[in-house]
Amino acid sequence: MENIMLGFANVFQPNNLLVCIGGLFVGILFGALPGFSATMAVAIFVPFTYVMEPGAALLLLSALYCGGVFGGSIPAVLVGIPGTPASAPTALEGKALVKKGEAGRALNLVTMASCFGGFVSSVALLVCAPLLAKIAKMVGQPEQMFVAIFGLSVVVMLSQENLFKGLMVAIISLLLATFGQDPVEGFPRFTFGFSQLTGGFSVVPVLIGLFSLPEVFKMLEDPLGKMAESGKVGSLKLKLTDITHNIVNAVRSTIIGVCVGIIPAAGPDIAAFLCYNEAKKASKEPEKFGNGSPEGIVAAEAGNNGVTGGSLIPLLTLGIPGSAPAAIFLGAMIIHGVRPGPTLFTQHAETVYTMIIGFALINLLMYFVGMLFCKCGSLILVIPKSILATVIVVLAVVGTFATNKNMFDVFVMFGAGIIGYLMLRNDFPTSPVALALLLGTNMEKSMSLTRTMYEGELYMVFSRPLAAALAAFTIFSFVFPLVKMARERKKKAAQSTEQRGE
Amino acid sequence: MKKSFADMIIGIVLLAFLTSLAVQVPAIPEVSRGYPLTLLVISYLMTGYLLVSSIVKQKKEEKQETKILEQVKIIVPYCLMIVVYLFLMGKIGYIASTVLFMVASLLYLKLKNKIVLAVLSVVLTIILYFVFTNFLTVILPRGSWFNIAF
């Protein structure tokens, strides 16, 4: 309780409040620009946090993350282009409401539902994370090994469209994570004669390059174009029934969102579609879905913002980043000396509670900042791509330089950007790179120490109940998506055979 | 261009990269070698599979129309512009190189409004300079040929 009060006191300091509001502005802007994302916002702004107190730094990143997820819904409503995949159901309903001249009402619904989902998810984070951390305290080296492997199983879920390429990217990225001194003996490996590589690749420059430059290169394909053309926003007023009819819907969707968020790799997009479907099933007017249903908007938005707090639960307690933004969060936390894991809630209680309480406040502030953006939403989308591309390159270069204050990292960032663009163009997923680089060193260290602990008799690991349970969980998390994919393929094949027969 | 052709090129480049790592393995002491060696072997197997499968696919696949040449014509010069920017940063310092890069980039990307072009290039560069030097205490690169600083 004392830590929670301390968190409240920290969050309400004027500087931290400014950080939250500033972060929300930038995050929403990034989310609102099609092609940009919450991940890109968090990646680019990590270097800006270096001189901040860890608590303030995490508040800024949280505001960018929440703002980015919400911001994607503004173009979804105004122009029917989802800023992020999670806003696709909102785009469907929003577009229909815009046609009826109710763009303002749709935007208000989006903002309210997003804030509600995000706020409840932060309460879930506050309640669940310390409980899970107590269980996580029983974790030793063997368990850590399985936790790292489990974290990597996220790759399987993130790469369902091209599993082989996803796994290949993960394995090669794990190999890249071995560059530099080995974590146990300290012998430098694969340095190619560069002294800068003795400590391995600095993760933040790689992530900045990987998640920002490819979008710039994509913009270059049509530099003269604006992001989109949009109509007028109009009145932002809501009907009373918009609120009264949607309370149960919002609560249900948020709970689904939080649960989806806790599962690694099941991000806001899955939550949005799941909640939208459930709302349609439960609705008294399911025929309105697809034709401008407020219920559809509320469900999708409460669901995808519910994920934000939920996804931080495994990150804070077990150090498993369940998504690309969470992976960058992890990198930033490590830089600030706040290593997620079982001891986080005892060793860095003040910082972590500042972040969690701040997370709740950010979601409340998001309503006011969000409404401001909704009013001038159509203006954001007319910024020429040429300006955006140039500004992003400069921010990425300067931000990367600030990481370790050397130009080598800037060249690494640029190289990562080019590789990221080539990967995107050839259907190689980029998220596994972030996961593998962050989990790689830990995995090697825990594997090596476990081997030493059991003097080569690795099967003895399974005599530890928690390790055995984690191993079973890990195997399940690798196998389940594969079985699911095989079933879906079989189903599709059967359907096509039936169609041919007809 | 055939889609599998790109995979084939990527496979060849990856094989060359993995080989450059493989030649360094004998220099690593045995205690530090096991884990990266295992990953290296798996990487070789996966890259080999990608290469073989892309060769097989290429024979069956039909050519697809892509705008790759047009894209290359725009992106490659822009990448070169970034490389020159990074090189100049160490020679003429952050402020001069960034203003130059922004002007060049906005002109290259055909921004028509020359006032926006000039104001944005100068104002953003200076704002970033002040934010980084005063608030974030990061000394941005100084030029070895000449340097502009406040």
Any domain includes B30 = yes
Q: CB under 8 Å to A5, separation ≥6 — which residues?
A: none
> Which residue is listed with tokens 């030097």?
B133
What's the pLDDT score for residue B21?
A: 92
| pLDDT one-digit tens code per residue, A193-216 | 888 888 888 887 888 888 888 888
B1 touches chain A (CB under 8 A): no
**Mutate: best of A178, A382, A437, A442, partner B, most B CBs <10 A:** A178
DSSP string, A248-299: HHHHHHHHHHHHHHHSTT--HHHHHHHHHHHHHHH-S-GGGTTS--HHHHHH
Q: Which of residues 8-67 of B touch A (CB under 8 A)?
A: 10, 14, 20-21, 24, 28-29, 31-32, 35-36, 39-40, 42-43, 46-47, 49-50, 67
DSSP-assigned beta bridge partners for residue A226 = A384
Residue A462 has pLDDT above 60, yes or no: yes
Beta strand ranges found along chain B (DSSP E): none
Query: How many CA atoms, within 13 angstroms, populate the side-chain half-sphere of residue A407?
Result: 15
Same domain for B38 and B81? Answer: no
Q: Report chain A's mean pLDDT, rounded to a whole number.
A: 81
**Mutate: best of B7, B33, B45, B82, partner A, most A CBs <10 A:** B82
Q: Do A425 and B6 touch (CB under 8 A)?
A: yes
Q: Which of residues 99-158 of A touch B (CB under 8 A)?
A: none
What residues in A contact B111, CB-CB < 8 Å? 384, 386-387
Mean pLDDT over residues B36-60, rounded? 91
Report CA-CA distances (Å) from A212 to A40, A177, A403, A419, A496: 6, 21, 16, 12, 40
Q: Which of residues 167-206 of A touch B (CB under 8 A)?
A: 167-168, 171-172, 174-175, 178, 182, 184-185, 187, 189-190, 192
What residues in B contact A415, CB-CB < 8 Å? none
* Closest CA–CA distance from residue B140 to any residue of chain A (Å): 8
Same domain for B72 and B127? Answer: yes
B5 touches chain A (CB under 8 A): no
Q: Which of A168, A425, A444 sits opposite B35 (nearest CB)?
A: A444
Same domain for B56 and B75? Answer: no
ipTM over 0.90: yes
Q: Which of A175, A401, A426 sits opposite B36 (nearest CB)?
A: A175
Residue B104 has pLDDT above 90, yes or no: yes
Any domain includes B141 = no
B4 touches chain A (CB under 8 A): no
* Closest CA–CA distance from residue B89 to any residue of chain A (Å): 9
What residues in B contact A182, CB-CB < 8 Å? 32, 35
Same domain for B78 and B131? Answer: yes
What are phi and psi for residue B103, nearest 5 degrees?
-60, -50
* CA-based torsion, A312, A313, A314, A316: positive or negative: positive
A164 touches chain B (CB under 8 A): yes
Q: Contact A42/A312 with Cβ under 8 angstroms?
A: no
DSSP summary character for residue A384: B
Any domain includes B145 = no
Structural domain including B86 reads 68-135
Residue A386 has pLDDT above 60, yes or no: yes
Q: What domain count does chain B have?
A: 2
Q: Which of A189, A401, A414 sits opposite B36 (nearest CB)?
A: A189
What's the pLDDT score for residue B13?
A: 94
Same domain for B44 and B82? Answer: no
What's the pLDDT score for residue A82?
A: 63
Q: Could you give the 3-state DSSP secondary structure of residue A181?
A: strand
Residue B65 has pLDDT above 90, yes or no: no
> Which residue is listed with tokens 């909704």?
A374
A221 touches chain B (CB under 8 A): yes
What's the pLDDT score for residue B150?
A: 67
What are phi and psi for residue B137, nearest 5 degrees?
45, 40
The chain A residue lying nearest B21, using CA atoms, is A190
Q: Do B102 and A394 touch (CB under 8 A)?
A: yes
What's the pLDDT score for residue A233?
A: 62
What residues in B contact A224, CB-CB < 8 Å? 109-110
Residue A265 has pLDDT above 60, yes or no: no
pLDDT top residue among A159 and A25: A25
Report CA-CA distances (Å) from A174 to A42, A168, A169, A434, A500: 23, 10, 9, 10, 45
**Amino acid present at A500:** R
B75 touches chain A (CB under 8 A): yes
Q: Which of residues 285-314 of A touch B (CB under 8 A)?
A: none
Same domain for B91 and B122? Answer: yes
**Amino acid present at A410:** V
Q: Give the Cβ contact number of residue A290 at 10 Å.
A: 14
Mean pLDDT over residues A318-347, rounded? 79
Confidence class for position A412, pLDDT limits 50, 70, 90? very high
Structural domain including A163 reads 2-501
Q: Which of B7, B70, B86 sits opposite A407 (nearest CB)?
A: B86
Same domain for B33 and B52? Answer: yes
Confidence class for position B83, pLDDT limits 50, 70, 90? very high
Same domain for B30 and B54? Answer: yes
Q: What domain count does chain A have?
A: 1
What's the pLDDT score for residue B123?
A: 93
Same domain for B43 and B93? Answer: no
Same domain for B39 and B98? Answer: no
**Worst-scoring range by mean pLDDT, A116-120, A260-264, A488-492?**
A260-264
Rounded Cα gap, residues A447 and A450, in angstroms: 5
Mean pLDDT over residues A65-94, rounded? 76
Q: Is B93 left (phi over 0), alpha (psi -120 to 50) or beta?
A: left
**Predicted model pTM:** 0.75
Q: How far apart are the first and last CA of chain A?
A: 66
Q: Which of B32, B82, B140 sits opposite A401 (nearest CB)?
A: B140
Report CA-CA distances (Å) from A474 to A139, A301, A471: 15, 31, 5
Report CA-CA distances (Å) from B23 to A380, B18, B37: 52, 9, 11
Task: Name the nearest CA neighbour of A312 among A301, A321, A304, A324.
Answer: A321
Same domain for B47 and B103? Answer: no
Q: Which of residues 81-140 of B touch A (CB under 8 A)?
A: 82-83, 85-86, 89-90, 94, 98, 101-102, 105-106, 109-111, 116, 120, 124-125, 128, 132, 135-140
Same domain for B56 and B73? Answer: no
Mean pLDDT over residues A217-245, rounded? 69
What residues in B contact A50, CB-CB < 8 Å? 136, 138
Q: Which of B46, B82, B132 sits opposite A171 (nearest CB)?
A: B46
A456 touches chain B (CB under 8 A): no
Any domain includes B143 = no
What's the pLDDT score for residue B73?
A: 84
The chain A residue lying nearest B87, using CA atoms, is A407
The chain A residue lying nearest B108, using CA atoms, is A386
The chain B residue lying nearest A179, using CA atoms, is B36
